[in-house]
Structure 1
Amino acid sequence: MAGGGLSKARLARLHPVLAAHVARGDMPGMVALVARGDEVVVEAIGTQSFGGAPMRRDTIFRIASMTKLVTAAAVLLLVEECKLRLADPVEHFLPELANRTVLRTPESPLDDTVPARRSITVRDLLTFTFGLGAVMEWPPKYPIQKAVDELGVAPGPWQPNFSADEFMKRLGRLPLIHQPGERWLYHTGSDILGVLIARVSGQTLEAFFQERLFAPLGMRDTGFQVPAAKLERLATAYMIDPEKQALTFFDDAADSRWSRPPAFAAGGSGLVSTVDDFHSFLRMLLDKGRHGREQILARPTVELMMSDQLTDGQKQGAEIFFGMGASWGMGGAVITRRTDVSTTPGRFGWDGGYGTTAHVDPAERMIGILMTQRMMESPQPPAVFSDFWTSTYQAIDD
């Protein structure tokens, strides 16, 4: 295990590298956190919106798919209590997923199906191999892509604007794209897991998160809604207008969707957080489930969550997400091969499509978090992510 810290001289490179992206107008600002051992460094750069208030350490960001890490941890809490088992079919709690049919091929018409060979399990949902998710064909050309879009359950930047029960009802109308356990497909499994947590626990998803994770970890600014008293700390989110090729509002903090309770608390993408809150969550994982004197998750559970769960066959077709050096654990990606300065085998985490990235590296005893609100335009990381990770890892001092 690495035992050193961070070189002050080398870490000083981080600020100007990140500030250059703000100076170019790529985004109005960002907050970065780098931690190694007991050393924690935070950089707040730019403003919360173009022409707005200065960015601050406790600025609140929409973390999009970084939510998946929290959702997976919450499911594993229920697994530890034997309220769920990884191999159990989920249809007892999610009857909408019982008696599935499966498309003969992903390109098939919706009525060209065969029966599912087996039930969908908790493990299938955690590993994104249950049979539905993002089909990476653009522009959309398969009937199933059109169907999920028309039903409002397609993976994308917007959370569903209807209830969790309605979400499951609509999913239940669809055939699976692949047999359960056969292939990895992005995103949808986490939204279903959020519904599963609520139904198993008898609580709302936010209440369960708050009681079992956010309160014990001191994550005071993390949730599915920003209270009125905290709205001044919410950054504005931007996206590229494809016609003008210029930044435009995705979600203006002055009238944010996140200022109101969501119709659907999305386990795949709905949370807001801060760098310090998310550092607390990742530090718990780095410390093998422990936070202070409390064991939030057992060490073997954390090791399971952060271990490669996929076969080569299951990853087929997902190369745009994993390249040649990564795979999927439960809730996040696992680096499997050194392909860059920052890709330590065993590093675990994920990116958020609104412009955030967060990973924990057990081998280096290191955590990195970058939060912007410039929407990603591809599963491939934007330049600011790459520059952040390179600047972070080149600062290792041992």
Structure 2
Amino acid sequence: MEMFDRVGAEMGAAVQDMQFPGLVWSLTSGHDAGRQVALEAPGDVPGDALIRIASVTKPIAAAATLALTEAGVLDLDDPVERFVPSWAGRRVLGIRNGPLSETVPADRPTTVRDLLAMGFGLGYDAGAPEGDALSAATSAAGLYSDWRVPALDPDTWAERAAVLPMAHQPGQGWLYQSSFDALTVVVQAATGQGFEAVLRERILDPLGMAETGFTVPEESLDRVPRHGFPDAAGGPAEILPAGDRALLTPPRFPSAATGLVSTAADLMRFASMLLDGGSGPNRRVLTEDSVRAMTTETTTGAGREMGRGLLPEGQAWGLGVGIDPAGRFGWDGGTGSSLWVDPAAGVAGVLLTTEGMGSPEPPAYLQRFWRAVQSLPT
């Protein structure tokens, strides 16, 4: 197929320019019996490499949450305090980026929908001035995660979040990351299960994603490649070893925001389900209404403004996915991972790499991949 050949040639060239040369890509085109799938691994890693997917965890977590709503376990409009009583009566900063001592009441409870819409009121604020009080307090409390899950256990995380004010009124802002850490706490409280067990029951097992999880079995560690994170000057800021034994131990905080390890083949099963409107290979995993809700814009004007620098220019946010002006939806992860679905073209793509992004700016290999998929000039 022309698209597969074009992408294969481009990524074969792109991997030569990477500081940590390793990537696996997969594309699917079409539906059902007419579907065509390609998977290639130019560079130094095998096609079945087990790679940290960072924020590509978010769409999977969002899908699991929507599956819970379909089962009646929770509702998108449930107040989060129903499940986490300490989050009742949260206050809101009276002035954007103002002092923590000046707050006003929230005008309504924060809901499960708000969490999926990145509206918990805590998180990374790219527009905050240096010395921003709420950002500093959030960091001091140990609440931030990145490609690594929080170091706290979920109960402690919830207690520390409860005493901090929100940066904005519920539904009126967009701060990155912490909403999905909060989602973990809510889902575990609502189900009485660990978060990974929920993912496995609602999404991973129905789709046959047997190699996706927060840990890696010892016998599979030889499929975990070295992973590097360039610093701003282009040098290695951090290198995770091949066969990283840290992946043998379950995290204290199995986060909805980050932390899953997966393969390109597993992620393509998930992307294909979304491309098919919620239908998996053996049964329906999500209703068409849930997929529609997931891919409908939730960002207000204030939310888009607040998200500048972390929500890419021109993109909106749905429930756990970004949405571009052409209607493609998906998300990228800071470890160099990417998963997007193009319903109009009938195409879904996955890219996993061993070179972390280092900044919100998309790295060259990521831009080259998606431009080749869309047949745009490089």
Deviation at 1:122, TM superposition (A): 1.1
* Count of residues in correspondence between the two structures: 372
Moved more, 141-150 or 12-21: 12-21
Match of 2:42 among 38, 41, 45: 45
Deviation at 1:139, TM superposition (A): 7.9
SS at match of 1:249: strand
* 2:92/2:169 contact within 8 Å kept: yes
Cα deviation, 1:88-135, whole Å, max 9, x if unaligned, reads 211010123211111122322221211111111111111112322111
Cα separation, partners in 2 of 1:248 and 1:133, compared to 1, 3 Å = closer
Q: Return the alpha-carbon distance in structure 2 between the equivalents of residues 328 and 248 of structure 1.
A: 30
Show the 5 A alignment for 1:214-225.
214-225=204-215
Pairing of 1:340-355 with structure 2 (within 5 A)? 345-355=326-336
Distance change >3 Å, CA 315–CA 241, structure 1 → 2: closer
Which deviates more, 133-142 or 149-158? 133-142
Deviation at 1:379, TM superposition (A): 1.8
- Equivalent residue in structure 1 for 2:338, among 329, 333, 357: 357
Deviation sequence 1:119-161 (CA, Å, 0-9, x none): 1111111111232211114884201111111111124333212
**Residue 78 of structure 1: how far off its partner (Å):** 1.4
1:217 partner SS: coil
In structure 2, do the counterparts of structure 1 residues 155 and 32 end up closer, same or farther at CA, with 3 Å as the change threshold? Answer: same
Structure 1 residue aligned with 2:298, among 294, 299, 309?
309
- Give, in angstroms, the shift of residue 358 of structure 1: 0.7
After superposition, residues 188-267 of structure 1 pair within 5 angstroms as: 188-242=178-232, 245-267=234-256
Give the letter for the 1:40 counterpart: V
Contact 1:187/1:268 (CA < 8 Å) preserved in 2?
Answer: yes
Are 2:70 and 1:73 aligned?
no
Distance change in 2, residues 1:139/1:234 (3 Å): farther
Following the alignment from structure 2 to structure 1, what is the Cα–Cα distance between the partners of residues 61 and 22? 28
Correspondent of 2:102 among 100, 112, 131: 112
1:295 lines up with 2:276 in the alignment: no
Q: What is the CA-CA distance between 1:261 and the residue it aligns to?
A: 1.2
Mapped to 1, the partners of 2:312 and 2:152 lie a distance apart of: 35
| TM-superposed deviation, 1:256 | 4.0
Kindly indicate whether residue 309 of structure 2 is the aligned counterpart of residue 328 of structure 1.
no
> Which residue of the partner structure matches residue 75 of structure 2?
85
Amino acid at match of 1:247: P
How many angstroms apart in 2 are the aligned matches of 1:110 and 1:275? 44
- What letter matches 1:126 in structure 2? L
Superposition deviation, residue 248 in structure 1: 4.6
**Alpha-carbon spacing, 1:110–1:355, altered in 2? closer, same or farther (3 Å):** same
Structure 2 CA distance for aligned equivalents of residues 213 and 142 of structure 1: 38
In 2, are the aligned partners of 1:236 and 1:373 still within 8 Å (CA)? yes
8 Å contact kept, 1:305–1:330: yes
Structure 2 counterpart of 1:33: 26
Partners in 2 of 1:239 and 1:364 — Cα distance? 33
Deviations 1:16-73 (A, max 9, x none): 43233332342221001111111111110111xxxxxxx1111011000000001111
1:19 to 3, 12, 16: 12
8 Å CA contact 1:101, 1:113 repeated in 2: yes
Note if contact 1:106-1:142 (Cα within 8 Å) is conserved in structure 2.
no
Alignment partners' CA distance in 1, 2:189 and 2:200:
16
TM-score of the superposed pair, with normalisation by structure 2: 0.93
**Is contact 1:131–1:182 with CA below 8 Å preserved after alignment?**
no
Displacement over 4 Å in runs of 4+: 137-140
Which consecutive residues of structure 1, in runs of 5 or more, have no partner in the other structure? 1-5, 48-54, 338-344
| Paired residues of 1:131 and 1:181 also in contact (CA < 8 A) | no
The 8 Å contact of residues 26 and 374 in structure 1, kept in 2 or not, is answered as yes
Q: SS at 2:41's partner residue?
A: strand
Deviation, 1:175, is: 0.9
* C-alpha spacing 1:311/1:162, structure 2 compared with 1 (3 Å): closer
1:378 aligns with 2:359: yes
Normalising by structure 1, we get a TM-score of: 0.89
Structure 2 counterpart of 1:128, one-letter code: M
Among 366, 370, 374, the alignment partner of 1:389 is 370
**Is the Cα contact below 8 Å between 1:133 and 1:186 reproduced in 2?**
yes
Equivalent residue letter for 1:43: E
The equivalent residue for 1:166 is 156
Q: Deviations over 1:311-341 (max 9, x none)?
A: 2232123232444432011111011x2xxxx
Tell me: CA distance 1:258–1:105, structure 2 relative to 1, closer, same or farther (3 Å).
farther
RMSD over aligned Cα atoms: 1.8
